[in-house]
Amino acid sequence: MEIRDICEGTNLLEVKGLEVHYIVDKDVSRAVNGISFVINEGETLGLVGETGAGKTTTALALIGLLPMPPGKIVQGEILYKGTNLVGQNERYMRKKRGGDITMIFQDPMTSLNPLISVGNQIMEVVLLHENLSKLEATKRAKMMLETVGIPGDRYNDFPYQFSGGMKQRVMIAMALACDPRFLIADEPTTALDVTIQAQVLKLMNNLKKERNTAVLLITHDLGVVAEVCNRVAVMYAGHIVENGPVEQIFNDMRHPYTQGLFFAIPDLDSESEFLKSLEGLMPDPMHLPEGCPFHPRCSHCMEKCKTEVPPNLEVTPGHLVKCHLYP
């Protein structure tokens, strides 16, 4: 049985009505607007959408790294093992980060300390969260480097001595060093070649099997979602517009935005010379349209789409869509 099929389990993380704003003077950027989702133990949820949809802001809010100010969680709960992380002090969150909850950041160029060797940066994480000696932590760091395809004898090398893709692998090694229970992966394979990408995806799947690790995978690559995710949530302008099992979303996409994302994927069986694309751009989060945020770009737009925010409807068991097309 594939790990994808094993998606029943205890709720590890539950997000309820999360709203995140960036407030600068009197300007308010509504980055995340009342999203809710659940991730079970051993499950991978893919979070997809265009740049500017609010995916990374969601991830930073979950792990307690939202820059405050200007960022602010104005509403909602983030329940990890039943405990609300919203409002917890930095000391509590620092104990959780890197151990129980960890994150692979999108930009490795700015996430590594240029003055400390990559091995020592991984070792520090291990020493902070594991009851190991410095020698044992060093061995763990070298093992993690080799796990992501970097020779262990490069332990003492500095970030400037690595390419962009290798820096991303170092970040992955650091995130996985303490066998986290919940992993947030923000575009973890973007800078990697296909061989290392396959190794990283295999590593994430092994974590699920061996440690029952839950994963929130943020990506633009729907092929990666199909490969490793149990469920997928489609995000647009700070809203989750469609959410459900991967098989249902891929085979029966309902929201016009989800359909637009899939139609933009090259099809080798199609004789068309041009890809279909969505007209227009993601709306400015400081000036979101009334009603459905997608209505200015939607070919199915109705009058009530311009004034009423659509409810979250269950069109089939476990498959939720936020659209007026499905009353």
Tokens 């995710």 sit on residue: 229
Q: For position 120, what pLDDT does the model report?
A: 96
Distance CA 56, CA 61 (A): 9
Answer whether 179's CB lies under 8 Å from 230's CB: no
Q: For position 9, what pLDDT does the model report?
A: 59
Q: Show Cβ contacts of residue 29 under 8 Å, excluding neighbours closer than 6 positions.
A: 21, 22, 23, 285, 286
Among 179, 125, 117, CA closest to 147: 179
Distance CA 175, CA 156 (A): 18
Residue pLDDT, tens place only, 200-245: 788 777 777 777 889 999 998 888 898 889 999 999 999 999 999 9
Answer whether 239's CB lies under 8 Å from 257's CB: no
Distance CA 298, CA 283 (A): 13
Distance CA 266, CA 174 (A): 35
CA-based end-to-end distance of the chain: 36
Please give the structure tokens belonging to residue 48: 């997809």
Residues of the chain with pLDDT under 50: 1-7
Distance CA 47, CA 236 (A): 10
Stated as kind and residue range, the H or E segment containing 146 is helix 134-147
DSSP state letter for 309: P
Please give the structure tokens belonging to residue 238: 């700070």
Residue pLDDT, tens place only, 88-128: 999 999 888 888 899 988 777 788 999 999 999 999 999 98
For the chain, the C-alpha Rg in angstroms (whole number) is: 20
Q: For position 7, what pLDDT does the model report?
A: 46
DSSP state letter for 97: B
Answer whether 33's CB lies under 8 Å from 45's CB: no
Tokens 């000696």 sit on residue: 133
